[in-house]
Amino acid sequence: HRSDMEPKVSLGKAINFIKLSVRLVCTWPPSKHSTKWQIAVEDFSWCISILSVLCLLIPLIFSIYEYRSDSIIMTQSMGLAGACVMIIIKTFVLRVHRKKCQLLIDEMEEFVKTCQDHEKHVLQSYVDRCWIFYAAVTIMNYLASVPVIFGPFVFPHQRMPTFAIYPFSIDSGTSMYLIIFIHQSIVGFQTSAGLTIDCQVALMMWYAGARIEMLAQEMKNSSCIKEFGWFVRKHQSLLFYATQVSGTMCYIALTSACVCGLSTIMGTMQLVGDRPFIIKAQYGP
């Protein structure tokens, strides 16, 4: 049957899924065919995203100082502040490399649309092997924010998802409370999107590997010595693509490693601290 031959997740769906997963941090560059208005909207969205994170990062820094005598609250605020810093660094790295990423992603999307059947088969084999892992990582990243966001509904002493301290009263009314609560929740999901940026960069490296595998198959099936020069030029082009991706990927990977290490230390202190089990459950997963 036709339905038995169709892949569970197509190439286009895989790309769109990753594109959607980083939407809250606006790191997917606009297409080279985008209008000036579309680019302006993306630029504005990126600025709002950064401003949103900064509006929580600064109160978290105040919280670290204010609760310096309470190691549990201080470490929680440090972990969340580190996550905010991670978003800012990653988004700025991809912003600086925006033109390069735009060209690389445009080439990838164009190839996916125009590739031949045997090339599509190789790409689909990569999707079939990796889509469960990519989906699981993305879902876990977003689910990790849920316990923190719903903390105020479980712990009566905690009015907000974080212990951030603002230079104004958040008890001035229901509207102010809702605005702060919604904002902290949004930044929580922005943190999840920031972790998923690694999947965006990995997608480009994954694509480069698939293209090199296709070239290897073409060389294996070719018996014409005259095509050797074309194979060499194609190989050099693909190596250049992979080098460009790795030049961006190294900064993203370093940031993730540092921030995740800090968050692990802060989370472990929450687990070993003298806190109720239900609070430790926020950090156990």
Task: Residue 130: name the closest of 68, 206, 186 by CA.
Answer: 206
138's CB contacts (< 8 A; 6+ apart) are 17, 18, 21, 196, 199
pLDDT value of residue 2: 42
57's CB contacts (< 8 A; 6+ apart) are 81, 84, 85, 88
pLDDT value of residue 269: 66
Task: Tell me the domain boundaries of the chain.
Answer: 2-280
- Compute the distance between CA of residue 147 and CA of residue 270 in angstroms, rounded to an integer: 14
pLDDT in tens, the chain (285 residues): 444 456 677 788 888 999 999 999 999 988 888 889 999 999 999 999 999 999 999 999 999 999 888 877 888 888 889 889 989 999 998 898 888 888 888 888 888 888 888 788 888 888 888 888 889 999 998 998 888 888 888 777 778 888 889 888 887 778 888 999 999 999 999 999 998 988 888 888 888 888 888 888 877 777 777 777 777 888 888 888 888 887 777 888 888 788 777 777 766 766 666 665 556 555 555
pLDDT value of residue 243: 83
pTM over 0.85? The answer is no
